[in-house]
Structure 1
């Protein structure tokens, strides 16, 4: 009987020792399972309104910077450009006419002093300046029409992955209204949410070990890039009837808030593809 107590005591002591060791390791190297893969998401937004006449990309496709994604019907913008060019030529012709009239009046005044009144000469000079302004306006309209025609071809601003594409040929797109998301493939990072009590002595450039739920057999190396300076509060936000929302809490329990820590990953395995929203476990190795 005494031997059984000794064995049980040894087992309990060993278990407590292991627990204490793991707790000390946790204190030295904060760890959380509340981590996610993030990346910069660019909203592909056309600058002109029109109907899609050509779709050159598929959903979840990889694209390179400058690749043509889709084309908007350019016919109306080509017409506007033609109108602008015609208006510019007309303005230039009126400018040439105003200059000729002013030149003729000035020469006539030189040959026969007093033949032209000072008011007439001033009006002719004002006509030249007005015509010059009209030429500048016409050129600006041509430039605007040229840009709008160019904007009918929507290209990828960076290398990345198209996602959530629901538009097809014949769909109508509206200027300045996002159409599809493009995930910048060079901007992936991991964001871990640590309890505020775990971030004592955590510094920028501390080494980090990341394990993805989808690839739990591989440990990714990285470092702390930044630590968040603030989080949104829930208590006091406006609720129904413009009254503040206040969450019930127990006076004897103080819950530690979660602070976001941004992790820059080092070189990734060749076949590992990061995806926004992946779940990750993050361990910070304090130096």
Structure 2
């Protein structure tokens, strides 16, 4: 009986110790349950307008940098390139003709001074300069047409995940209008919103522990990358007649504002898939800094 009592007391003592240790850790170290997984989201935007003739990705698929996402019908851009090339050849021919006429007139003037009026010589020189400028313009037009043809093939700028894909073959895409969202595979971080009273204990480089709601038994190690330098205010924004809006109600219990703190994860496990918008809890170590 005494042995059972001693064992029970010992177990209770150990449980109380760990309970108090965890409680003290949460009290001493800044902690919040208001955290979210974030990542850089790249909006894939075509540079030219046209119908999609080939779609090489599926929704929620993983792609590599340089993979072809989709192709736009190139026929009109091939024709534009051919036309630009023809304009370039024509401009070069006119330049060669202008140079020959100037040389012939200059040679005639050298042999028989006064045979060619000065005004004519000046006009021929101006024709050469104009032809050179036309060649430059034609070269620029050809380069632009070549780029537009290249832009009909849209590739992935980085490794990542395609999400919320609504594009289909035959769909008309418009230049400079985003059509595909790509989540950068190497840019995940966790943003915790801490009360402003906790900021005095948070420093850039402080060690942090992140617990995802989807994996409560798998805490992830990280460190503080940065803290926000401002949040939007509710009172004082401009209203009608350029006067400030002021909330007529005031809570006597003033709640602390929440400031975003970015947490960079240190080598997250490969078997845990991070999802943008997922909920997380964040604990920042008050006295420990990342090496």
TM-score by length of 2: 0.88
The change in CA–CA distance for 1:279 and 1:251 in structure 2 (over 3 A counts) is closer
State the partner residue of 1:41. 41
State the partner residue of 1:95. 95
- For 1:251 and 1:276, the matched residues in 2 are separated by 34
Q: How many residues align?
A: 272
Residue 250 of structure 1 deviates from its aligned partner by 3.6
On the 8 A contact 1:27/1:198 being kept in 2, the answer is no
- For 2:212 and 2:18, the matched residues in 1 are separated by 26
State the partner residue of 1:194. 194
2:200 aligns to what SS in structure 1? coil
State the partner residue of 1:73. 73
State the partner residue of 1:147. 147
Q: Gaps (5+ residues) in structure 2?
A: 1-16
- For 2:111 and 2:160, the matched residues in 1 are separated by 73
State the partner residue of 1:168. 168
Root-mean-square deviation (Å): 2.1
1:286 aligns to what SS in structure 2? strand
Moved more, 106-115 or 246-255: 246-255
Residue 110 of structure 1 deviates from its aligned partner by 1.3
- For 2:151 and 2:201, the matched residues in 1 are separated by 51
Residue 70 of structure 1 deviates from its aligned partner by 0.3
- For 1:216 and 1:23, the matched residues in 2 are separated by 17
Q: How does 1:1-287 map to 2 (within 5 A)?
A: 24-237=24-237, 245-247=245-247, 249-287=249-287
Moved more, 257-266 or 231-240: 231-240
2:201 aligns to what SS in structure 1? coil
1:199 aligns to what SS in structure 2? helix
On the 8 A contact 2:30/2:201 being kept in 1, the answer is no
On the 8 A contact 2:160/2:184 being kept in 1, the answer is yes
Residue 30 of structure 1 deviates from its aligned partner by 1.1
